[in-house]
């Protein structure tokens, strides 16, 4: 038997940690500019919470693009539908929402979030079968079809609930802040950070520790070879699309509670934001999406505090800067 | 000997290009059949057509008596075909182990089978937990072939496995293919290196401009310099 000459150890792949360190560097760099420690902590926690919610909304979009090569400009519809479905649960049960009991608050919040995910996921199934299936591999048609889908969804929400902004109060237990010295940390922001972290770790766990995750990672890299190994990748596509839609629904619910309001155009408004995050992170990269969401939120919060006028364009400036540095985003996964 | 795979009147279009023009051939069961031809003759297209990656526009593809030309690629693969593409197509973000776990499909990795594979390709054991993207070209080729044989397959379609590889690795691949054949698998192998082809092949097909222009014993073609020059534009003697 031929013993092939092979080096005893492969050259270790370079660990690209700079993008991971960017949020930390940014936060530390902002501290002296902000001056007050309490303001810095408040802004940093707000950024982390906002970033986590944006990540939840954007994670599905980046997975869908990475695996399916689908540009879904209708992703915002899942966000808005999720928020409205949660509203359908939370408003009629306002008594439980306003009760001064964490148990009662969670007893209404958890089903609302789960139902929002279920409906958004089911809507994802319909959209994939009706709109996406016919236009796989055709980016221009995907943009037209999904943008049209977003407009239809938005108009349907206007037709069903009207143009007014619907107030969505936070559950009583999640109102207010924890006070540590002269630092106030909003309770809901902590919850948002926790949920975002759980979603991120959950996705990482599935992608790295399960066969489905292996298939998704392999499919992002080479769909054709996955099929040649005998896997029906279309079913995987559908599953990922539904999960991505469900996560958008969860993100929409959390965002609506964060803003304490729901309106029909929220999906449209957030579409640009989640696309910026996905592009910054590198199309198809969950890790990049996570860091991109944090950076977008940090720039928005720090920028809004230091130079309020800059807040209007901060996301675009960030995206331009990142793409000038790394034209394929922080962590490029796919060459598409 | 009965044919495990037969192609009959197969035409394949890629976009507006008509690449295969009525390809007819059979691959005898238990043999290694070489598919030779110049660049652009249609070798890779033939393998991809069999796999359903570029489906046949017309004609019949039959595997062990079952028509497969209308089936989707995953269903064709599940009939027991292992495919090693020219690009190797290892999943570079996955480790060697993860690449093989995916290739094993529904079952867990079989330790004795792995030991058999490691016998040919010890580097795969050594870099078991390394990312496939960090392997050398030769090691990626070993992984690509290991992926196709990690479970028993009745037919292997292998596209230019020795391209650009060091001689030591080519020798290992030749041994590997001989052993796979001894275990009863049928192989259809595309190869540009005629010297390698004549060591591996039992029978040979030559394709030119999307048509099979020669079929016969490999040994006979290896001896016939004039025919080699006529079919392939080179001879084994010139190649050595």
C-beta atoms of A229 and B103 within 8 A: yes
Any chain A CB within 8 A of the CB of B178? no
User: Between A75-90 and A37-68, two packed helices, what is the crossing angle to 10 degrees?
Assistant: 120
C-beta atoms of B123 and A6 within 8 A: yes
- Among chain B residues, the shortest Cα distance to A11 is held by B134
Nearest to A57 by CA among A250, A189, A205, A188: A250
Nearest to B210 by CA among B7, B1, B11: B11
Measured between beta carbons, the chain A residues lying within 8 angstroms of B134 are: 10-13
B91, B171, B175 ranked by CB distance to A218: nearest: B91
B85, B123, B133 ranked by CB distance to A4: nearest: B123
CB A167: neighbour CB atoms within 10 A? 11
Measured between beta carbons, the chain A residues lying within 8 angstroms of B133 are: 13
Measured between beta carbons, the chain A residues lying within 8 angstroms of B73 are: 224, 227-228
Measured between beta carbons, the chain B residues lying within 8 angstroms of A4 are: 121-123, 138, 142, 168-169, 172
The pLDDT, as a whole number, for residue A3 is 38
Any chain A CB within 8 A of the CB of B177? no
Any chain A CB within 8 A of the CB of B171? yes
More confident residue, B237 or A42: A42
C-beta atoms of B168 and A222 within 8 A: no
- Among chain B residues, the shortest Cα distance to A227 is held by B74
DSSP B131: B
Rounded mean pLDDT for each run of 10 residues along chain B, 240 residues in total: 93 94 96 92 96 96 96 96 93 93 89 92 92 91 94 94 87 90 93 88 94 94 86 58
The pLDDT, as a whole number, for residue B106 is 75
The pLDDT, as a whole number, for residue A10 is 56
Structure tokens at A329: 């985003």
Nearest to A64 by CA among A53, A51, A74, A52: A74
The pLDDT, as a whole number, for residue B240 is 47
| pLDDT tens readout for residues A236-267 | 889 999 999 999 999 999 999 999 999 999 99
C-beta atoms of A4 and B147 within 8 A: no
C-beta atoms of A2 and B168 within 8 A: yes
Q: In Å, how far are A34, A52, A193, A302 from A31, measured between CA atoms?
A: 5, 21, 21, 10
C-beta atoms of B102 and A214 within 8 A: yes
Contact A284, A65 (CB under 8 A): yes
1.10.3470, 3.40.50, 1.50.10, 3.30.70: CATH of A36-325: 1.10.3470
| pLDDT tens readout for residues A141-193 | 999 999 999 999 999 999 999 999 999 999 999 999 999 888 888 999 999 99
Q: Nearest C-alpha of chain A: how many angstroms from B228?
A: 30
Any chain A CB within 8 A of the CB of B96? no
B92, B102, B120 ranked by CB distance to A229: nearest: B102
pLDDT at A8 exceeding the cut of 90: no
Helix (H, G, I), strand (E, B) or coil at A102: helix
pLDDT at A122 exceeding the cut of 90: yes
> CB within 8 A of B167, min separation 6: which ones?
none
Contact B157, B6 (CB under 8 A): no
Where in chain B are the domains?
1-80+186-240
C-beta atoms of B101 and A211 within 8 A: yes
Structure tokens at B213: 């222009």
1.10.540.10, 3.40.50.720, 3.40.50.1970, 3.40.50.300: CATH of B1-80+186-240: 3.40.50.300
């Amino acid at each position: 038997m031929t013993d092939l000459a092979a080096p005893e150890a492969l050259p270790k792949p370079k660990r690209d940690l700079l993008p991971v360190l960017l949020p930390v560097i940014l936060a530390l760099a902002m501290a002296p500019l902000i001056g007050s420690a309490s303001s810095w902590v408040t802004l940093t926690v707000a950024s982390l919470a906002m970033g986590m919610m944006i990540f939840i909304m954007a994670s599905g979009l980046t997975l869908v693009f990475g695996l399916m090569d689908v540009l879904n400009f209708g992703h915002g519809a899942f966000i808005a539908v999720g928020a409205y479905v949660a509203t359908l649960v939370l408003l009629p049960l306002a008594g439980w929402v306003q009760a001064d009991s964490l148990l009662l608050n969670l007893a209404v919040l958890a089903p609302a979030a789960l139902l929002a995910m279920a409906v958004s996921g089911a809507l994802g199934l319909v959209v994939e079968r009706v709109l996406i299936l016919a236009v796989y591999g055709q980016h221009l048609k995907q943009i037209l079809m999904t943008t049209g889908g977003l407009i239809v969804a938005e108009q349907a929400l206007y037709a069903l609930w009207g143009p007014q902004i619907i107030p969505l109060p936070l559950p009583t237990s999640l109102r207010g802040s924890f006070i540590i010295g002269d630092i106030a940390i909003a309770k809901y922001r902590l919850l948002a950070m926790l949920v975002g972290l759980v979603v991120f770790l959950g996705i990482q766990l599935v992608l790295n520790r399960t066969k489905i995750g292996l298939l998704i990672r392999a499919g992002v890299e080479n769909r054709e070879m996955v099929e040649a190994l005998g896997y029906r990748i279309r079913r995987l596509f559908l599953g990922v699309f539904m999960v991505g839609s469900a996560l958008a629904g969860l993100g929409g619910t959390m965002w609506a509670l964060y803003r304490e309001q729901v309106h029909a155009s929220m999906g449209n408004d957030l579409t640009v934001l989640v696309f910026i995050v996905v592009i910054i992170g590198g199309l198809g990269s969950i890790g990049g999406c996570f860091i991109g969401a944090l950076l977008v939120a940090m720039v928005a919060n720090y920028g809004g505090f230091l130079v309020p006028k800059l807040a209007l364009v901060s996301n675009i400036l960030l995206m331009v800067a990142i793409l000038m540095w790394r034209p394929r985003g922080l962590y490029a996964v796919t060459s598409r | 000997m009965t044919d495990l795979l037969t192609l009959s009147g197969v035409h394949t279009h890629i976009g507006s290009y008509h690449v295969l023009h009525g390809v007819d051939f059979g691959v005898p069961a238990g043999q290694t059949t070489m598919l030779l031809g110049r660049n652009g003759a249609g070798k890779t297209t033939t393998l991809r057509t069999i796999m359903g990656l570029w489906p046949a526009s017309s004609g019949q593809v039959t595997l062990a008596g079952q028509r497969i030309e209308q089936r989707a690629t995953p269903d064709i693969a599940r009939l027991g075909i292992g495919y090693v593409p020219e690009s190797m197509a290892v999943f570079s973000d996955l480790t060697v182990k993860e690449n093989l776990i995916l290739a094993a499909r529904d079952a867990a990795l079989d330790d004795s089978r792995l030991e058999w594979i490691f016998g040919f390709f010890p580097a795969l054991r050594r870099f078991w937990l390394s990312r496939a993207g960090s392997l050398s070209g030769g090691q990626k080729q070993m992984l690509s072939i290991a992926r196709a044989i990690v479970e028993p397959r009745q037919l292997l379609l292998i596209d230019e496995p020795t391209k650009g590889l060091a001689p030591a690795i080519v020798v290992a691949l030749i041994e590997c293919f001989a052993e796979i054949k001894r275990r009863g698998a049928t192989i259809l192998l595309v190869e540009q290196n005629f010297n390698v082809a004549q060591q591996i092949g039992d029978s040979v097909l030559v394709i030119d401009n999307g048509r099979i222009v020669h079929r016969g014993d490999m040994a006979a073609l290896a001896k016939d310099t004039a025919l080699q020059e006529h079919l392939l534009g080179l001879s084994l003697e010139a190649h050595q």
